[in-house]
Chain A
Amino acid sequence: MKVNLKVWRQRNGNAQGKLVDYQLDNVSPDMSFLEMIDVLNGELTMKGEEMIAFDHDCREGICGMCSMYINGRAHGPQTGATTCQLHMRSFSDGDTIVVEPWRARAFPVIKDLMVDRSAFDRVVQAGGYVSVNTGSARDANETLIPRPIADEAMDAAQCIGCGACVAACKNASAMLFVAAKVSHLAVLPQGQAEASLRAEKMVAQMDAEGFGACSFTGACSVECPKSISLDHIARLNREYLGSKVTSQAI
């Protein structure tokens, strides 16, 4: 199949970027989107042009690196999937495909399609952990946790920190990410002791990084490759407000 691409090219964070047109004539519908970009990069190299810089690592939907805003959607037209899990059969012959980086004040562009997502790391460093050693895998089996609670924690823990929620949100809000991190620790006994202060610290860091507020449009959850539920945002709100009103921290 044939595709017309419009890809965001930007030399570095300070440079002016623009959408550049490329055409690929021999694309297999079975290629993943990233493989298609690899082919394009191969052609660019042959022509002596600079390759398109993009983040990727596992190429199996678990690392969260492959950030691309494709045809107006985070990770493209599929739901519940990352860019590496998107295949060219999701497009039609002759389609024009616009590829942009995540756009958010907190995610500055490094080069082309690569953005700096270290704001997420700092939000996690602010409180997304359990302060004491909770033991090794064997010890986990000694703390009995009812199945529904373990499932709830696992649903939240599936978050791979890809940033699609921020990219898709009209406010570039990181609430779904922060909610997933707060939730997955808050419902487990090992994380409960620090649950409420954790919410305070992580929200403070989220605000400091320059993410927007939540308008509850639900775009994040639809575009999240792990379909993290909006229930977790409600829990984050509850933990945060409850802590603000009752904690000893002034």
Chain B
Amino acid sequence: MSWVTQTLASSLGRKVIMSLTGLFLCTFLIVHVAGNLQLFKGDEGRAFNEYSYFMTHNPVIMTVSYLLYTSIIVHALMALILTRHNQASRPVKYAYTKPEANSPWSSRNMGILGTILLIFIVLHMRTFWYEMHFGSVPMAEYDGKEYKDLYKTVVAAFSQWWYVAIYVLSMAALGFHLVHGFKSGFQTMGLRHKKYTPLLEFLGVYVFAILIPALFAAMPVYMFLKHVGIIG
């Protein structure tokens, strides 16, 4: 084995892969939530559709999106490898344990939270990404130019209460995954410092675990309330 594969196969190297892919996904979340805020514009989806067009046609964005798909797959595979390895490190379990006395729940259930997220990602991509790329999306015309009207797909999807419920629950899982994952990612890279760690922990809790999941969850809820006529 070369030093590179040897490093990446070590317990620490595997965690570095988790950390790099996980933190990259975190930066993606910022872009994704910011862009989708356009759903809240009361313009029948024009800004959102123009944004979707840009995101599927800009070469830089398209390149980054392949990096994103790879990251999700690598993160999930590495999570599986690590979880299995970690479970094998204790072949005989304790008869009685009290883990809540020494560690937060989220930190001990990253695998379960991640699995919920993976199922969510598949469902989410089937509904929007697949329809946008390979399915049939109605067309809209703005200033004489044709756009895929993804907004209509969004409206249709979020008019079903159970679909909205899945989104809200998944975003709760995202919050719990990131309340531990964000700060853990930095620890894995050895980035821990009196001056910066408090800031990173603040960002991890208030931005990545609360604000971003809450904004994401607000989108389907808003669209649903609009659909049933509670808000205009």
CB <8 Å contact, B94 and A218: no
List CB contacts (< 8 Å) of B89-148 with chain A: 89-99, 101-104, 107-108, 110
Minimum CB–CB distance for A74 against chain B, Å: 8
Residues of A with C-beta under 8 A to B190 = 234-242
A214 near B: Cβ within 8 Å?
A: yes
Partner of B101, one of A19, A73, A98, A204: A73
Chain B interface bracket (under 10, 10 to 19, 20 to 34, 35 or more): 35 or more
CB <8 Å contact, A207 and B10: yes
Residues of A with C-beta under 8 A to B7 = 244
CB <8 Å contact, A214 and B95: no
- Once bound together, how far apart are the Cα atoms of A105 and B13, in whole Å? 21
Residue in A closest to B82 when the chains form the complex, CB atoms: A213
Partner of B94, one of A100, A222, A241: A100
A132 near B: Cβ within 8 Å?
A: no
Residue in B closest to A171 when the chains form the complex, CB atoms: B86
Per-residue CB proximity of A95-118 to B under 8 Å, as 1/0? Answer: 000101001111001000000000
A168 near B: Cβ within 8 Å?
A: yes
Stretch among B36-44, B59-67, B180-188 lining the A interface: B180-188
- Once bound together, how far apart are the Cα atoms of A171 and B108, in whole Å? 9
CB <8 Å contact, B187 and A230: yes
Minimum CB–CB distance for A214 against chain B, Å: 7
B55 near A: Cβ within 8 Å?
A: no
Per-residue CB proximity of B21-32 to A under 8 Å, as 1/0? Answer: 000000000000
CB <8 Å contact, A215 and B99: no
CB <8 Å contact, A216 and B188: yes
Residue in B closest to A209 when the chains form the complex, CB atoms: B89
CB <8 Å contact, B107 and A217: yes
With A217-B107, A218-B103, A234-B192 known as contacts, the answer to whether A212 contacts B85 (CB < 8 A) is: yes
CB <8 Å contact, B86 and A73: no
With A215-B110, A241-B189 known as contacts, the answer to whether A106 contacts B89 (CB < 8 A) is: yes
- Once bound together, how far apart are the Cα atoms of A231 and B193, in whole Å? 8
Chain A interface bracket (under 10, 10 to 19, 20 to 34, 35 or more): 35 or more
A211 near B: Cβ within 8 Å?
A: yes
Partner of B90, one of A105, A222, A241: A105
Minimum CB–CB distance for A83 against chain B, Å: 16
With A105-B88, A237-B189 known as contacts, the answer to whether A170 contacts B108 (CB < 8 A) is: yes
CB <8 Å contact, A250 and B2: yes
B162 near A: Cβ within 8 Å?
A: no
Residues of B with C-beta under 8 A to A204 = 10
CB <8 Å contact, A217 and B108: yes
- Once bound together, how far apart are the Cα atoms of A8 and B86, in whole Å? 23
Partner of B86, one of A109, A213, A219: A213
Partner of B11, one of A19, A77, A203, A219: A203
CB <8 Å contact, B104 and A103: no
A12 near B: Cβ within 8 Å?
A: no
CB <8 Å contact, B95 and A104: no
List CB contacts (< 8 Å) of A191-219 with chain B: 203-204, 206-207, 210-219
The 3 closest A-B pairs by CB, nearest first: A238-B190, A72-B98, A212-B89
* Given A6-B95, A172-B86, A250-B3, 16 more pairs with CB closer than 8 A: A77-B101, A100-B96, A103-B92, A105-B91, A173-B89, A207-B10, A210-B88, A211-B11, A212-B85, A217-B103, A234-B190, A237-B187, A237-B188, A241-B190, A244-B3, A244-B7
